[in-house]
A and B are shown apart, each in its own frame.
Chain A
């Protein structure tokens, strides 16, 4: 081969032909500090099948990888597992270049794709659990509605026992290595959790049902091939198992203390609260709202049992960074949290009430009324802050033991 960019073999008949995006740092508001990959796959049986495409910026790379093993024009079938443009964005160009005989998508995908662009050909909708023999391979389609879009589906390739899981089990992580077992476990755990928290958390109830449905299908699995990040060929039980755990959102003794501050008064309160939380046996994580990206905070919140939010009152309102974090967080619907609001103010002091309203709307159980301090906290105010931390830790302890029967750390 004389090509610089090549396809990489995954199984007997499956090849990875995606694009590595080392540069991306912002994926629709999600901070992708380690870049990502847009994965596309070829099944090379009697007639080549392309599973998903890539973000338009990666199209040339994908086409080069495809051309490194086959004539792209020989692709006979294209399957679109997900309508979102990081996977479908290159479809119109692929259709034009390849002229496949058929393009498959879920029923919602068949409706959604033409609402994004002129696909250039008719889309054949497939039904949930429909099995087709295509190009000498047996493919089963599993609808995964709202995990994470209405159109989302998995495609299972029976001969090689590969599950093409679209965004499911994915993570934003650019790497030259294609397999998860070639990468450091801590990085994988962090990025998988962050991805789940930012993309899938709000669909936890649907995900729990979906995992049951997939388990019921008893599909033998050798490989899980997602559309972002590395491919799994080892420890598949845990790859699926941690999704089931995250979807449960069992409370733990970890406490996220998200705060911002103008003249360090609210920050002093946050520090004292952290001390109280630790005294009560909790594991406090103080996150400065202005210094932490919203997607990082969500990653931390995924396995937390408490959320405490502190902010100063700025011009009778909420500090802007906190409004950003809280709006984002509320949409992702974290569950089973206890918490409290706190903050310092100069004259009007509306912010604590506003934070409390948002926490209540998020179903966070408020352990006690929000703690407001006028101007700079006195030694007494800081003691009250510490006691607030302690009270929250005690409540976390109760919740953990009644809900879980034991403390999860």
Chain B
């Protein structure tokens, strides 16, 4: 599983960590994030992310 970087604010989505504050458990691949998931820092949607 690969890390993805938010092109807006630089936040890195690490699948090993997930996004527990927003209901995404550790071990969730970026591809498996729900379509309405947004960057927890700046609110950008998934399309703004690029592979690290």
- Closest approach, in angstroms, between the C-beta of A357 and any C-beta of chain B? 21
Is A293 an interface position by the 8 A CB rule? Answer: no
Is A326 an interface position by the 8 A CB rule? Answer: no
Chain B residues closer than 8 Å to A143, beta-carbon distance: 43
- Chain B window 1-43, contacts with chain A (Cβ cutoff 8 Å), 1 for yes, 0 for no: 0000000110000000000000000000000000000000111
A172–B45 alpha-carbon span in the complex (Å): 32
Is A56 an interface position by the 8 A CB rule? Answer: no
Chain A residues closer than 8 Å to B8, beta-carbon distance: 146, 203, 205-206
- Residue of B whose beta carbon sits closest to that of A145: B43
- Chain A window 125-159, contacts with chain B (Cβ cutoff 8 Å), 1 for yes, 0 for no: 00000000000000000010110001000000000
- Chain A window 199-235, contacts with chain B (Cβ cutoff 8 Å), 1 for yes, 0 for no: 0000101100000000000000000000000000000
A150–B42 alpha-carbon span in the complex (Å): 5
Scan residues 19-35 of chain A and give those whose CB is less than 8 A from a CB of chain B. Answer: none
A62–B41 alpha-carbon span in the complex (Å): 31
- Closest approach, in angstroms, between the C-beta of A365 and any C-beta of chain B? 20
Chain A residues closer than 8 Å to B41, beta-carbon distance: 108, 150
> How many A-B contacts are there with CB distance less than 8 Å?
18
Chain B residues closer than 8 Å to A206, beta-carbon distance: 8, 42, 44
- Closest approach, in angstroms, between the C-beta of A86 and any C-beta of chain B? 20
- Closest approach, in angstroms, between the C-beta of B38 and any C-beta of chain A? 9
A203–B44 alpha-carbon span in the complex (Å): 11
A150–B8 alpha-carbon span in the complex (Å): 10
A145–B38 alpha-carbon span in the complex (Å): 12
Scan residues 138-188 of chain A and give those whose CB is less than 8 A from a CB of chain B. Answer: 143, 145-146, 150
Chain B residues closer than 8 Å to A146, beta-carbon distance: 8-9, 42-44
A182–B41 alpha-carbon span in the complex (Å): 39
- Residue of B whose beta carbon sits closest to that of A143: B43
- Residue of B whose beta carbon sits closest to that of A205: B8
A206–B43 alpha-carbon span in the complex (Å): 10
- Closest approach, in angstroms, between the C-beta of B22 and any C-beta of chain A? 11
- Closest approach, in angstroms, between the C-beta of B12 and any C-beta of chain A? 15
Scan residues 90-136 of chain A and give those whose CB is less than 8 A from a CB of chain B. Answer: 108
A150–B44 alpha-carbon span in the complex (Å): 10
A143–B38 alpha-carbon span in the complex (Å): 14
A244–B41 alpha-carbon span in the complex (Å): 24
A187–B42 alpha-carbon span in the complex (Å): 33
Chain B residues closer than 8 Å to A203, beta-carbon distance: 8
- Closest approach, in angstroms, between the C-beta of A331 and any C-beta of chain B? 11
Chain A residues closer than 8 Å to B44, beta-carbon distance: 146, 206
A195–B4 alpha-carbon span in the complex (Å): 31
**What are 18 A-B interface contacts by the 8 Å CB criterion?**
A108-B41, A143-B43, A145-B42, A145-B43, A146-B8, A146-B9, A146-B42, A146-B43, A146-B44, A150-B9, A150-B41, A150-B42, A150-B43, A203-B8, A205-B8, A206-B8, A206-B42, A206-B44
Closest A-B pairs by Cβ, 10 of them: A145-B43, A146-B42, A150-B42, A145-B42, A150-B41, A146-B8, A146-B9, A206-B8, A150-B9, A143-B43
